[in-house]
Homo-oligomer: A and B are copies of this chain.
């Protein structure tokens, strides 16, 4: 397909949730409803049946899931705060376009083909990533999910109700899982490896093990203007030390570590904070290295807390082991596409969750700048068209 065909569909979706500061497409909001309506419209145009799964994910089917051994593709609509246009939606738009490619070449699937939009992949609203896929596969307890809160204290259950959805149905979706034979997620690349290899499309080998840890630093709130330095128990100092220690530990062993969120309480310029919370996101090529990073930060921070006369508590909010995608599927796809690059990634995806249950593969589309999770995230439309063609070829190979 050409770039114009890609844009004709893309341009109808991309204004939803866009602001001057990037995308703010959060689950169970108006923007989410508009995305779901767009999904329904596209499915209707193609005569595909739409259904909402127990986990709030939305599906469109060519053929019937109940025939079993289905091939599922898709991604998610939701964005991180001030995110980009492509992370997530590219996989859904490409899926509908791949169906169009198959149909105009007269393909007749022998296996049902489904398109999915998973909910709350980024954790941008409720803080926990891959809520939809983890609920579907039973990796997330529905009671825990219902009680997740956003920054305004609204629970996931309340947010679903406000969107006329029923939170009581949340739970593992065993029948659906049992009827899936494969999952393929197309996604914009979030680094520059394909650019370096001069390739518009690649195939994923693995997802680095990664996790999120909440550090809670506790000291003693006091007046910033009258408390002499020697009398302080200032947790902001320990938190600042942690930010710098995280970078150092990750660099030493070749992993990555980020503190993107830090909240001080009470958070006033003229008050020494009583509590500071900071979130560590760390990733590494293997689990031993990831453990080295987190342990290294912890031991240094515990020492520093003693000097600052503060306390530190560390809680793992999520930990995802190394995910190696199905090797047979990966090699079959790479060969089918003419020997495209095979590359690992540090980013988590619903595909990593599905891979625990179903043979799963990921296709990446080139990102020339590597920028992602930011308004500047961008793929060339020619590359997006090439991605949709590649996905069509994969679906034909697997399902037709």
Residues of chain A having any CB pair with chain B under 8 Å: 22, 80-83, 87, 122-124, 127, 129, 190-191, 208, 210, 212, 220-229, 231, 234, 236-237, 239-244, 247, 250-251, 256-262, 264-274, 279, 281, 283, 345-348, 370-375
Contact = CB atoms under 8 A, between A and B. Distances in A.
A283 B225 contact: yes
B250 A244 contact: no
A393 to B, nearest CB: 25
Contact of A266 (B82, B210, B262): B82
A228 B256 contact: yes
Given A190-B225, A237-B247, A247-B229, A374 B260 contact: no
Contacts of A234: 247, 258
B236 A262 contact: yes
Given A190-B226, A241-B244, A243-B240, A267 B260 contact: yes
A371 B267 CA distance: 17
A274 B223 CA distance: 30
B82 A231 contact: no
Q: Which of A190, A191, A250, A373 has the most CB of B within 10 A?
A: A373
10 contacts: A87-B223, A191-B227, A208-B225, A223-B374, A224-B281, A227-B372, A260-B266, A260-B268, A260-B272, A274-B374
A227 B370 contact: yes
A226 B370 contact: yes
B226 A345 contact: yes
Contacts of A239: 240, 243
A189 B371 CA distance: 52
Contacts of A129: 270
Given A244-B240, A260-B268, A346 B225 contact: yes
A271 B274 CA distance: 26
Contacts of A266: 22, 80-83, 260
A374 to B, nearest CB: 4
A225 B247 contact: no
Given A223-B347, A224-B258, A225-B345, 12 more contacts: A81-B266, A82-B221, A122-B268, A123-B269, A220-B374, A222-B374, A223-B372, A229-B257, A231-B370, A234-B247, A258-B269, A270-B373
Contact of A82 (B262, B265, B283): B265
